[in-house]
Chains A and B, each alone.
Chain A
Amino acid sequence: MKSETSALPPPVQLLMCARWDAAHALAVKMTREHLAAFDEQLPDRLLDLTLDRNVMHSMICAFVDRLAQEGTEEAGLLALAWRMLTCDPRKPQSFVEVIPALSWTIRQATFESDADAKEACDLEAIWWHATAGAFVKTDGVSIFRIAAVETTLPPVADDNDDESYDPSAAPLPPTFMKKMMKLQGPSVVVMRAALAAEKGLPAAWKEMRDLPVRLVVARDVADVRELLQQEFPHAHNAVTLLTRDLRDGEPLRMQPLLLIGPPGSGKSRLVRRLAEITYAYVYRFDAASSMDGMFGGTPKGWSSAQPSVPARAILMSQQANPIVMVDEIEKAATSTHNGNLWHAMMPFLERETSAHYRDSGIDAELNLSHVNFLATANDIAPLPGPLRDRFRIIRVPSPNLGHLPTLAAKVMSDLAADDDFRENDQPLAPDELAVIGRAWMREKFSMRKLKRLVEATLETRDSCAPRH
């Protein structure tokens, strides 16, 4: 059982309980603390666990009405927690009023760790299945118990095991198992064994034969967009275009996109942040240092044999749809003596060809059609027409002075995240911002320079600070 989850709203804390009585005890404890402020006692009969469940349910309903009269959000959350105790897996109807509000509360909660958040999501999924009627046939076992066993929370010591629930004894309906399989998320086989002879394949790739590779799924796209727009206020439209292809609950899939903008406008950073927020892997490829067609792989037989960049990205990330970011694509060498980046990239940008790409580096056919290609450039002019046509162009403008307060605040919080000493820094004062603004204007509003300017300002401030 969790002990330090005090920051979570009561319904989420209850969700984490592995048994009905544990959840009940927790609800009683939290409600007592709440009622103490009003000098009020919890009705005795709510504590009586010997009561018939039906009687208990009507007691709880009456008490929920009492909480609702208070008219505060705190009481509302407690009321929701109490109502969770009335949910009966045998009667899916009993979940209908609870589950939408519970689900919304979970989405709004701030969890201490990703593990906690994931646990809550897993448990919530079981509650949803119960609402859909997956556990109608279970024998009076509480939803708390079912959810705990289904998500295999650490086992709880059972002294009087009146709530024994053994998933193997009461097999779940097949549709439910199928749904649970679906919960594992979508995947795709990148390398079909029939099209990749095992002999001579590098060891790492041998394991990939016929192996389903996970696809990253986009979640809460509206939130992702909002967050990026806050972080890149100058690139509001660019973010909208960048996230236009994303669909909630579907694999992350974007058309090839080319971000064009002046140096320092935050193009690469935007791509990296998008990947961070969506949990996608980014393979960065620096076009400026590419002199040949290595992007498409070096043929097997050469000592330097290597598969293509998209294939390497998949192998490294174990995701079938990582992001390959080609930085400064217009700076690639133009000589075609040993092939050239632009020509080497072309086949990957068409889904038709990339779905059956024979990688010369490992001599095997791969399905690379899910890889996302994002490129950045300062200028579009040097790019050959056919390549340009394959990208959707997004312009990222430079920020201006109006964006300074937001961007500087973001830099400050980034610095604080990197360095504990910076955590207690005061926000930038208006006069400091004015100085930074003037210097920044001289630097043509580069985001890289802004970071250095803010750092320098903070260092000056530190050196002038009075010491004791």
Chain B
Amino acid sequence: MIDDKRSLNDAFRAYLRGEIPDGIEMATAPRISDWKAVVRECPYSRVFELRLVGNVARHPKLGDGPITTSRILWIDKHRCVARTMSRIYILDQPADESS
């Protein structure tokens, strides 16, 4: 848990420095298509989080199919990458942005 938090902090710092996640991490990252960012509010508290909802491919644990990811740490639409609490996702086609 503690190490997790530290490494997340490092990941966030790297994002601020504009560093791209390293090659292996990118090469093995699952792709998410028809994705949408969704705000979720934890019950009874003021903790909010953003999650990705969409169709995933090549997820190391879940394989392929519909998915709601864990909380997003940062998301870069321009470079088509998002970092959640657990891993990196490569962003494919987003869902229709009608809303």
Interface residues of A (CB under 8 A from B): 68-73, 75-77, 80, 92-93, 96-97, 99-101, 103-104, 108, 121, 124-125, 128, 131-133, 179, 182-183, 185-186, 215, 217, 219, 222-223, 225-226, 248-251
Contacts and interface: CB of A to CB of B under 8 A. Distances in A.
Contacts of A96: 37, 50, 75, 77
- Give the interface SS of chain A, mostly helix, strand, loop or mixed: helix
Contact of A249 (B9, B43, B50, B99): B43
B6 to A, nearest CB: 10
Interface in B27-41: 37, 39, 41
B69 to A, nearest CB: 12
A128 B39 CA distance: 7
A103 to B, nearest CB: 7
A250 B47 CA distance: 11
Given A96-B77, A100-B72, A71 B17 contact: yes
B31 to A, nearest CB: 18
A222 B76 contact: no
Contact of A226 (B1, B17, B73): B1
Contacts of B43: 249-250
Contacts, number: 91
Given A97-B75, A97-B76, A108-B9, A219 B47 contact: yes
5 contacts: A80-B16, A96-B75, A124-B48, A185-B45, A225-B1
Interface string B1-30: 110010001001101111100000000000
A71 B19 contact: yes
A344 to B, nearest CB: 32
Most chain B CB atoms below 10 A, which of A75, A97, A121: A97
Given A93-B97, A222-B5, A250 B44 contact: yes
Contacts of B18: 68-71, 75-76
B74 A101 contact: yes
A226 B97 CA distance: 41
B39 A132 contact: yes
Given A71-B18, A183-B46, A128 B2 contact: no
B36 to A, nearest CB: 9
Contacts of B1: 222, 225-226
Contacts of A72: 16-17
B85 to A, nearest CB: 11
B16 A248 contact: no
A223 B75 CA distance: 24
A157 to B, nearest CB: 30
A238 B25 CA distance: 37
A94 to B, nearest CB: 11
A185 B39 contact: no
Nearest to B43: A249
B74 A131 contact: no
B17 A73 contact: yes
Nearest to A183: B46
Nearest to A219: B45
Contact of B16 (A76, A225, A251): A76
Given A73-B17, A226-B2, A100 B99 contact: no
Nearest to A78: B16
Contact of B12 (A70, A92, A104, A128): A104
B96 to A, nearest CB: 12
Nearest to B45: A249
Contacts of B75: 96-97, 100
B15 A76 contact: yes
A175 B50 CA distance: 19
A70 B46 CA distance: 35
A239 B37 CA distance: 36
Most chain A CB atoms below 10 A, which of B13, B47, B99: B47
B77 A97 contact: yes
Given A248-B47, A249-B44, A101 B12 contact: yes
Nearest to A65: B78
Contacts of B77: 96-97
A249 B47 contact: yes
Contacts of A251: 44
Contacts of A108: 9, 12
Given A73-B17, A217-B45, A225-B1, A133 B50 contact: no
Nearest to B38: A132
